[in-house]
Amino acid sequence: MYPLAGSQPYPRNQWYVAAWSGEVDEAIVARTILDTPIVLFRDADGHIAALDDRCPHRRFPLSKGWLKDGNIVCGYHGFVFSGSGACVHVPSQARPFESQRTTAYPVRERSNLVFVWIGDREAADEALLPDLAPMHADDPEWELVVGGKAHLQARYMLLHDNILDLTHLSYLHRNSVGSPGISRARVQSTDLPNGLHVDREVLSDTMEGSPLGAALGIQGPVDRLMPQFFLAPCLHVTGPEFRSAMADGVKPGHSYGIFRVIHAIVPETPSTTHYFWGVTRNFKQGDAAMTGVLRKNIEAALAEDIEASEAIERMLAMSGGPEEINCAADAAGAKGRRIIQRMINAENR
């Protein structure tokens, strides 16, 4: 299970993002998380429910059915289940038996993200929900734009590797959001309880020729401050602040604004992954053109990350190959791997 040891591909007793809240407002959502097909819907009280998507009667997907009074009706033989997993109607019976029920998974909504707990139900612990402060999603000075989601034919750890080694911006994203100085920047990382805080300062870098730089109106040399947070097992917050680096020019130290990108990297199966993303910013709130610029630039970079990760996944499907080598820039990525590995190990003690 490169790049992890052992046969268990992911921690199970953790909260994972299963959807953006808005998705469940619009439709019944079918989604596979940690090899488990679930159906998400809002019950009569407006709470999101997560049931196993396999109807316990004949395994037809409940998500192909419909809602009735906040319960979900199976579209095959008409069994009806409440958000708690209890069966509330069986067409051929006067009333359901107690034993006719299905599996419900714990759900929490935070900052427009829907978290589910697929592991042992009795281990579900709200205190393990990540601290989403670095997202600024609930900060009135900031605006959240829900980006969307992507689906990858690649294992989730390749994306943790990707995000924790931002030197790839100078190469993989050289034609989109990258700049040449990033691969040579000084990096400092601090451990968090279940994660990592990495600080990167790219001094006197250039954004000349970069679509992102042009969109932000950057002129001349800039300092690019790039804090990033890994909130294991599935969230990252990244994103730059650009500051004018002209020592004696116009507005030295002037900030062009800050944006933060939220990445939720969620295993679907051992070799496929959901990627939910969004962006918050502290400037030009409500400006649709700026929203469009950020969306377009982030989507361009994301497409490059997806293509790279899927290419690597195809390589991993082949046996053999040279021994893995590491370099100075891999410190944060190596820590990230160890955090995930520790979570897996803790479940097997």
The residues that touch its own copies, with contacts defined as CB under 8 A, are: 32, 35-37, 52-54, 56-61, 64, 73-79, 87, 90-93, 99-103, 161, 165, 167-168, 170-172, 183-184, 308, 311-312, 315-316, 318-329
**For its own copies, which is the closer residue by CB, 43 or 330?**
330
Provide, rounded to whole angstroms, the least separation between the CB of residue 204 and its own copies: 17
Provide, rounded to whole angstroms, the least separation between the CB of residue 18 and its own copies: 16
Provide, rounded to whole angstroms, the least separation between the CB of residue 38 and its own copies: 11
Provide, rounded to whole angstroms, the least separation between the CB of residue 89 and its own copies: 11
3-state secondary structure string across the chain:
CCCCCCCCCCCCCCEEEEEEHHHHHHCCEEEEECCEEEEEEECCCCCEEEEECECCCCCCEHHHCEEECCEEECCCCCCEECCCCEEEECCCCCCCCCCCECCEECEEEECCEEEEECCCHHHCCHHHCCCCHHHCCCCCCCEEEEEEEEEECCCCHHHHHHHHCHHHHHCCCCCCCCCHHHHHCEEEEEEECCEEEEEEEEEEECCCCCHHHHHCCCCCCEEEECCEEEECCCEEEECCEEEECCCCCCCCCCEEEEEEEEEEEEEEECCEEEEEEEEEECCCCCCHHHHHHHHHHHHHHHHHHHHHHHHHHHHHCCCCCCCCCCCHHHHHHHHHHHHHHHHHHHHCC
Provide, rounded to whole angstroms, the least separation between the CB of residue 48 and its own copies: 19
Provide, rounded to whole angstroms, the least separation between the CB of residue 288 and its own copies: 34
**For its own copies, which is the closer residue by CB, 32 or 112?**
32
**For its own copies, which is the closer residue by CB, 2 or 209?**
2
**For its own copies, which is the closer residue by CB, 167 or 244?**
167
**For its own copies, which is the closer residue by CB, 51 or 207?**
51
